[in-house]
Amino acid sequence: MKKVLMCGNEAIAEAAIIAGCRFYAGYPITPQNEIPAYMSKRMPEAAGGIFIQSESELAAINMVFGSSLTGTRAMTSSSSPGISLKQEGISYLAACELPAVIVNIMRGGPGLGNIGPSQSDYFQAVKGGGHGDYHQIVIAPASVQEIADLTMLSFDLADKYRMPVMILGDGILGQMMEPVEFKAVTKPQIKKDWILDGCKGRKPRIIKSLILNEAALEKFNLKLQKRYKEIKNKEQRCEVLYGDDSEIMLVAYGTSSRICRSVVENMRKKGRSIGMIRPITLWPFPEDAFKKLGKNVKSFLVVEMSCGQMIEDVKLAIDCTRPVYFYGRTGGEIPSEDGIIKAIENY
Note the residues at the interface with other proteins (CB under 8 A).
3, 5, 30-31, 115-116, 171-172, 175-179, 255, 258-259, 261-262, 264-265, 334, 336-338
CB nearer to other proteins: give 117 or 130.
117
Chain-centre distance for alpha carbon 16: 14
**Cβ contacts of 141 within 8 Å, gap of 6 or more:** 8, 147, 149, 150, 151, 167, 169, 173, 254, 280
Residues facing 106 on adjacent strands: 170
CB nearer to other proteins: give 30 or 84.
30
Q: How far is the CB of 266 from other proteins (least distance, A)?
A: 9
Report whether 39 contacts 50 (CB < 8 A): no
Compute the distance between CA of residue 34 and CA of residue 103 in angstroms, rounded to an integer.
Answer: 12
Closest C-alpha among 325, 327, 313, 328 to residue 120: 328
Q: How far is the CB of 281 from other proteins (least distance, A)?
A: 21
CB nearer to other proteins: give 3 or 183.
3
CB nearer to other proteins: give 90 or 144.
144
CB nearer to other proteins: give 49 or 81.
81
Give the DSSP letter of residue 117: B
Q: How far is the CB of 217 from other proteins (least distance, A)?
A: 45
Q: How far is the CB of 323 from other proteins (least distance, A)?
A: 25
**Cβ contacts of 284 within 8 Å, gap of 6 or more:** 137, 231, 232, 235, 236
Q: How far is the CB of 127 from other proteins (least distance, A)?
A: 29
